[in-house]
Structure 1
Amino acid sequence: MKHTALRSIVHNVADSLGSGIGILIGHYEMDVYGDAQRSPERAITVDFLRGVVIEGKPSVSLVKSVALYPTALAHLCSKAGGSIADLAEAKVRFWSDALDHHFTVTITDGSGRRTATDYAGIPGRRVKVLDLLGRLRPKTSAQV
């Protein structure tokens, strides 16, 4: 499966969690950004392959929700013609600032290509930056 397709699938799963409307998992009592604000790190990082929070102090409701997402991720991968085995890493870091909610999707595909892509808002959209000619363009994904 192509790297961009995998990134899109992980974005959709992260956007579901970030919106607080867990239609993918049937669990609707979650506030990842609220939990991030209450965490000492002011962020929550989720490993969607294992279904665990790896950074921050999540609420009980968020822990239950995150545990359901590996199945949803596998379903979306198979629906797109791939497999969850095409992903070696699928982590998302959620945080807020004074202006907006943010999340960064970090994925590693089966061939070892690893990228981090920034999104903002609800629903999550690619962060925009000005190019050298002053045009607004999507921020490129960082090779990490």
Structure 2
Amino acid sequence: MKFGELKSIGHNIADSLASGICLLVGYYEVDIFAEAASSPARYIDVDFLTGTSSGSLTSPSLTKVITLYRDALDRLCASHGTSSSAFTVLAARFATDSRYGERFTVTVEDQSGRRSIDEYLGRPGRKLKVR
């Protein structure tokens, strides 16, 4: 599996959660950015491999959706011709701030140790280009 395809999977799963509609796991209306913004931490880290989160506390419905994304990861990977075992890290940080507004950072690492950290703005996530 090419590393670029793993990055694509990472973006797709994080962007689906960021959208708030979560069609990858059914139809769930959640707002991960609002939940992140309403706490002192102002971010939510999601580990898609384990289906867990840290940072801001999450509502029961968002906690359920994050678990469903863990379960959906194998289906998403299969559609790309790989499995979730290709990743050693597949995580995203969802946050809001006064400079960029809603943003998410996707971290992908494969079994060979190749690592990528990409930042996206808004819904849908547009890649942040650093100048």
Corresponding residue number in structure 1 for 2:117: 116
Displacement of 1:97: 1.9
Displacement of 1:39: 2.1
RMSD over aligned CA atoms reads 1.2
Matched residue pairs, number? 130
Displacement of 1:36: 0.4
Give the TM-score normalised by structure 2: 0.93
> Which whole-Å CA distance do the structure 2 matches of 1:78 and 1:54 have between them?
27
Query: SS in structure 2 opposite 1:123?
Result: coil
Structure with more contact order per residue of length (Cα contacts < 8 Å, sep ≥ 6) = 2
> Which whole-Å CA distance do the structure 1 matches of 2:36 and 2:25 have between them?
21
Please say if residues 46 and 55 of structure 1, whose CA atoms lie closer than 8 Å, have aligned partners that are also in contact: no
Amino acid at match of 2:67: A
Corresponding residue number in structure 2 for 1:128: 129
Alignment of 1:64 onto 2:64: yes
> Which whole-Å CA distance do the structure 2 matches of 1:129 and 1:104 have between them?
13
Give the TM-score normalised by structure 1: 0.85
CA deviations on 1:54-99 (whole Å, 9 max, x unpaired) are 2221111110100000122111111111111100111100011234
- Structure with the largest fraction of helix: 2
Larger Rg: 1
Structure 1 unaligned residues grouped into runs of 5+: 131-144
Query: SS in structure 2 opposite 1:50?
Result: coil
Give runs of ≥4 in structure 1 deviating > 6 Å: none
Alignment of 1:88 onto 2:88: yes
Corresponding residue number in structure 2 for 1:104: 105
